[in-house]
Amino acid sequence: MSISVAVSGASGYAGGEVLRLLGNHPGVTIGAITAHSSAGSRLGEVQPHLHSLSDHILEETSAENLAGHDVVFLALPHGASADIAAQLPEKTLVIDAGADHRLEDPAAWERFYGPGHAGTWPYGLPELPGRREALRGARRVAVPGCYPTSALLALTPGFTAGLLEPHDVVIVSASGASGAGKSLKPHLLGSEMIGGMSPYGVGGGHRHTPEIEQGLGWAAGNPVTVSFTPTLAPMSRGILTTATARAVPGTSASQLREAWEHAYDDEPFVTLLPEGQWPATKSVVGSNMVLLQLAFDEHAGRVIVSCAIDNLTKGTAGGAVQSMNIALGLDETAGLTGAGVAP
């Protein structure tokens, strides 16, 4: 018996990636595909890479059109999910790729997104301690942001093991252009992006900071303070995160390696590379893999973890599909691959 799935926001990059992955999923049937300004178009016009779905007609995004499916993926602008979700039956599995239901602290949400925190849903990053269990049987899931996915998987083992200082985490991430979405802004033009890098949203102002602090706080058991700087790199997909934290005094390099080495032993999609090999974003393009490497800069007293993911796959749509699989009791890896499209 196939599971029926509806996908909203299908003209954007996140929605397109959800559809690409579902197209390879053995257990689902794609039903309604919805969009806003592109409603009425053939999907092939806006997502020409999704060949087998190209003749689907995009419907208007509405609770009415999305209802009647076993699963609904919401890939909508921040703030737009809560209304729709409220109109969908409780038994429907609703997976929100937006920010609306990620944060536990209403004040943190409101600082970056304005009034009206919509509540908190189980967090779709099953590799964090305790999170997989919360997803089993869930009917509402908040998919983590792409930057937090990379940052949390990079540093959680060290905090869980009590080897990292909770204050003064410093994270610098480079993201591909698709992380900024399909919005028509001058600095996102190919002419501007090809061959150059630039920072943006610097100085604590990035709205992903509270989500990173929340997740690291879960691992540390205490509040964690993060300085986070995102940069924009001339690539379509991929995030390379450099996450550093001070080691607790007296920590040795081997203690640190050990903490990371076994943290993800049973995880199908997270791996610590052999020593000396560093993660490149190209290794994970189109895949759900998370590649990590670790170094202890004893001179500076800092642990440096590099983490590569595909922002659209593990960072968004892959994490969403993985969460669906867990929530419904399917094989967690269905529709997902660990092999990147490289070079």
Taking every pair of Cα atoms in the chain, the longest distance, rounded to a whole number of angstroms, is 63
Instruction: Yes or no: say if 207 and 191 are a contact pair by the CB < 8 Å rule.
Output: no
C-alpha distances in Å from residue 261, one per residue of 154, 162, 215, 256, 292: 12, 15, 20, 9, 10
- In angstroms, what is the minimal distance from the CB of 220 to a second copy? 15
Q: Shortest Cβ distance from residue 314 to a second copy (Å)?
A: 12
Based on CB atoms, which residue is closest to a second copy, 86 or 341?
341
In DSSP notation, 86-103 reads HTS-TTSEEEE-SSTTT-
Q: Which is nearer to a second copy, 329 or 343 (CB)?
A: 343
| Residue whose CB is less far from a second copy, 178 or 325 | 178
Q: In angstroms, what is the minimal distance from the CB of 304 to a second copy?
A: 6
289 burial (CB, 10 Å; 0-12 / 13-18 / 19+) is buried
Distance from chain centroid for Cα 254:
30
Catalytic residue chosen out of the listed positions 35, 66, 84, 146: 146
Smallest gap from residue 165 Cβ to a second copy (A):
11
Q: Is 201 left (phi over 0), alpha (psi -120 to 50) or beta?
A: left
d(CA 230, CA 172): 6
Q: Would residue 307 show up in a list of annotated catalytic residues for this protein?
A: no
Whole-angstrom Cα distance, residue 252 to residue 247? 9
Residues designated as active site: 146
